[in-house]
Amino acid sequence: MQRQFGPQAEKYVSSADHARGESLDRLIEWVKPEAHWRALDVATGGGHTALALAPHVREVVAADVTVEMLAAAERHLRERGVSNVTFCEADAMNLPFGPAEFDLVTCRVAPHHFPDCATFVSEMARVLRAGGVAGMIDNIVPEDPDAAKYINDLEKLRDPSHHWAYPRAEWNAFFERAGFVVERSETFRKARDFDTWSGMMGVTEPLRSRLRGLIVTAPGVAGEALSPEPEAERIRFHLTEVLIVARRPA
C-alpha cells in the first residue's frame, strides 16, 4: 500500500469522488458526533472524512499507513484552517492506541486494501470506549462468488494493493463477531468515470485497454453490478458501497 499510494497521495486529496458523496453525508448524520468527542479516522487517505468530522468534535486523530498520504492530508486540512486534527502513522490492524481511547472510530473506502478485515474491526472495538460508535464505508461485491471474484480481480489488476472487497453480509458478520451491535446499514451505488478511475493509479495504456474490455464485457451478475455505460470514447460504470454504523455495547 505504501508503494502504491505514496506517489498518488495528491490525487486522493484532489479527488472529487473521495471528497464528497452521499454516503459521507449519511455517515455524519448517523453517527451524530458530539462536541466533546475524540474521534479516530483510520486510513484517512486525503483526509476528507477527518475534515467532515472536525467541525463536530473536540479532536480528530487522522491515521494512515502511508506517510506521503498523511503529509498531503495535513497540508489539505491546514490550508482549510482546520486546527483540531492531528496526524498519526498507523496500521489499521495494529492501531497504536490504548483501549477505550475514542468515542468514535471511522474508516471510509479503505478496508478492501486490508489483508485482515476481521482484525481491523476488532481493533476498532478495542480502541472505542463502551458505548462508542464505529462508522465504516467500503466497496462491496455481490454475494455470488463468481461475480465477487470477477470484480475483485478487476480491482486488483488496476491497483495491486487491493486485497478483497466483501459482500454486505460478511461485513455485518465481522462487526457482530467483534462484539458490536449493528445499528444501521445502507448501500449506495456510485457512478464512476472509467478514465478518472483508471487514472488514479496511473495505469499504462495497454492495461487501461484491458480494464476497459473487462468492464464492458463483464458477464452475468458481475455485469449487472458494474452496469457499464459506454459513451463514445468514455465509459461510465458503477461500484457499490456499504455504510455500517455500529455501537460497542455499554
- Cα atoms in the Cβ-side hemisphere of radius 13 Å centred on 5: 22
Q: Is the pLDDT of residue 75 over 70?
A: yes
Q: Where are the domains of the chain?
A: 2-141+161-190+240-247
Q: Which residue's entry shows cell 489539505?
A: 76
Mean of all residue pLDDT scores within the chain: 92
pTM for the model stands at 0.91
- 100: Cα within 13 Å, side-chain hemisphere: 5
Ranges of H-type helices in 91-219: 117-127, 145-158, 168-177, 194-199, 205-216
**Residue 58 half-sphere exposure, CB side, CA atoms within 13 Å?**
6
State the pLDDT at residue 248. 98
| pLDDT band, residue 11 (cuts 50/70/90) | very low
In CATH, the architecture of 2-141+161-190+240-247 is 3-Layer(aba) Sandwich (3.40)
pLDDT per position as a tens digit, 123-171: 999 999 999 999 999 999 999 999 999 999 999 999 999 999 999 999 9
Please tell me the distance from the alpha carbon of residue 67 to that of residue 41, in angstroms, as a whole number. 15
User: pLDDT at residue 244 above 90?
Assistant: yes
- Is a pLDDT exceeding 80 seen at residue 12? no
Cβ distance 243 to 135 under 8 Å?
yes
- For 198, phi and psi rounded to 5 degrees? -75, -30
> How sure is the predictor about 8, in pLDDT bands with cuts at 50, 70 and 90?
low
The reported pLDDT for the residue numbered 6 is 45
pLDDT of residue 202: 85
Residues contacting 215, CB < 8 A, separation 6+? 154, 194, 226, 228, 235, 237
What pLDDT, on the 0 to 100 scale, is given for residue 171? 98
| Whether residue 17 has pLDDT greater than 90 | no
Residue-wise pLDDT for 185-240, tens only, equals 999 999 999 999 998 888 999 999 999 999 999 999 999 999 999 876 689 999 99
User: Tell me: the pLDDT tens digits for 106-122?
Assistant: 999 999 999 999 999 99
